[in-house]
Amino acid sequence: MTTQQILEKLVSFPVLGGDSNLEIINWIKQYTESFGIKTFLVYNSDNTKASLHCRIGPAINGGTILSGHTDVVPVKNQPWYTNPFKLVEKPDGNLYARGSCDMKGFLACCLSALPKMVKANLKKPIYFAFSYDEEIGCLAAEALINHIKATYSETPKFAIIGEATMLQPIIGQKSIHILDITVNGSEGHSSRIKQEVSAIHEAAKIVLWAEEKMNTLVKTSNDARFNPPHTSLHVGTINGGIAANIIANKVTLSLDIRCLPKDNPNILYQDLIHFCRERENTQRAIFSDFKIDVEENHPIVPAFSTNENAEAVNLIGEITGNYNWNTVSYASEAGYFANAGFEAIICGPGSIKQAHRANEFISKDQLHKGAQMIETLVSYLETSA
């Protein structure tokens, strides 16, 4: 099958983040095993989803993991001109479908190179590591990586996460933590503001806490490789209140924290919890049930930072011709691979500008170049590894 034919097949499985991905993962499993490769599935607790990994080539240290995810973001309420789960080739040279760019295009590049990998005399192995639920917080990456480490006696060295970067090497990513906060105050007449606890006034203090925290970090912690070069804290939604003359008893807000690799998101989280406990202790003198609930929308997606002189940067340069690295502030599984000890780099075909929107596409040129990157990796591992 050509890369495009495989992509056509992959996009026909409408697996959103959170959905069962068994159909698509079993198709990938059967395809991979048809070339004589043994695959491993890593199931979730109720066996409705699975990640897949496998090794192609010898059991020797220093191999390269090719990482991708099988889920996509929703299409609901987006103005699609075509069926999002059918690959449509248009005269503009682009292939339209949900996931064409993020990131089934990369999966197709890996899978179409498999016959070549199997035939090649690889000096170092290649691994596939394909996950689920990436789009709702990279939920499966850790279990997949642990399973890889437990399965193989040898140790892979590199992890290429094939998110859409126009095949530019990405060597750093901020961590991402999203918190859903509910402030429970006491209702009453506005004139009693000193006798009740307004959830709105308390929520405002949390917003100011976030702003001040960020301002302190802007002054004390910088990394010029990132744009912006500081950790960001941002309240994106705030809801509550009925009328000007009623003290609000409930407010919900959502806080998005993106930390530089050098800043610790756990410490920021603990600081926030500490601030909320302090507010509770203070205000319970007025209203004994005053409460601030802080819920994690998903576990922290870890940051990563690969040294610009690392071998992985050179490897990507060798197989793409592009040594011109950059950094990003969106979520990917790269931080999990870096935390597990692999040299991680994000690099894949297609543009992040096309991801997550209506009429997502990958250009045929990018798909072709992505396939070339993998084929060049195969040749590279036959000769110079």
The residues that touch Zn ion, with contacts defined as CB under 5 A, are: 102-103, 163
As measured in angstroms, the least distance from the Cβ of 352 to Zn ion is 9
Closer residue to Zn ion in complex, CB, 56/103: 103
What is d(CA 7, CA 111) in angstroms, rounded to the nearest whole number? 9
Instruction: Pick the closest to residue 100 from 136, 73, 81, 126 (CA basis).
Output: 73
As measured in angstroms, the least distance from the Cβ of 103 to Zn ion is 4
Asked whether 139 and 298 are in contact (CB, 8 A), the reply is: yes
As measured in angstroms, the least distance from the Cβ of 131 to Zn ion is 10
As measured in angstroms, the least distance from the Cβ of 47 to Zn ion is 24
Closer residue to Zn ion in complex, CB, 15/381: 15
Tokens matching residue 112: 């179409």
Closer residue to Zn ion in complex, CB, 163/263: 163
Closer residue to Zn ion in complex, CB, 165/249: 165
Residue 385 burial (CB count, 10 A): 16
As measured in angstroms, the least distance from the Cβ of 109 to Zn ion is 14
> Which burial class, exposed, middle or buried, applies to 118 when counting CB atoms under 10 A from its CB (0-12, 13-18, 19+)?
middle
Instruction: Pick the closest to residue 345 from 376, 308, 374 (CA basis).
Output: 308
Residue-wise over 39-75: b if at least 16 C-beta within 10 A, else e? bbbbbbeeeebbbbbbbbbeeeeebbbbbbbbbbbeb
As measured in angstroms, the least distance from the Cβ of 155 to Zn ion is 26
Closer residue to Zn ion in complex, CB, 198/363: 363
Tokens matching residue 156: 């892979």
Closer residue to Zn ion in complex, CB, 52/268: 52
